[in-house]
Amino acid sequence: MKKNGVLNKDISEVVASMGHTDMIMICDAGLPFPSGVRRIDLAITKGVPGFIQTTEVIADELKIDHVIVADELSTVSPHILMELRRIFNNVEIESIPHEKLKELSQKTKAIIRTGEFTPYANVILVSGVLF
């Protein structure tokens, strides 16, 4: 049995397969999934697991070059943006229109769906490199 880190087999597999500039997305319960992108559905009920909690765990596992959020996050759910700034305090946070974020989600290796019910609680993590 794995002692620590991500215990979910599907998430561990995707994170281990990430190369420089590959992308993975963590989303709220309502984001539509593009066809052809791997879906890792963690949602159990409203708020479980939470978006921030899930993001923190994955941020500990993955070298992140930068993150991408929707422009709308700063006005609709600023507390989520504040938490992302805390988690990614030394990482660039790029902001793009929500429609473009949904288009970009089609290029991710996987999308991890949480039980989050906060609007625009979606983030794309762009993998960095350790050397």
Does a structural domain hold residue 4?
A: no
Question: Each residue of 39-56: pLDDT tens digit?
Answer: 999 999 999 999 999 999
pTM: 0.96
Domain with 27 in it: what CATH number? Answer: 3.40.1650.10
Residues 16-40 have pLDDT tens digits of 999 999 999 999 999 999 999 999 9
Q: Could you tell me the residue range of the domain that residue 99 belongs to?
A: 9-127
What distance in Å separates the CA atoms of residue 73 and residue 70, rounded to the nearest whole number?
6
Closest CA to 69 of 114, 101, 91, 46: 101
Total number of domains constituting the chain: 1
> Does the annotation mark 79 as catalytic?
no
User: Which phi and psi (to 5°) does residue 92 adopt?
Assistant: -65, 135
Q: Is residue 2 part of a domain?
A: no
Residue 123 in any domain: the answer is yes
Q: Is residue 1 part of a domain?
A: no
Kindly name the residue from 20, 66, 79, 98 that is annotated as catalytic.
20
Report pLDDT for 64. 97
What Å distances lie between residue 42 and 65, 84, 95, 117, CA to CA?
24, 20, 25, 13
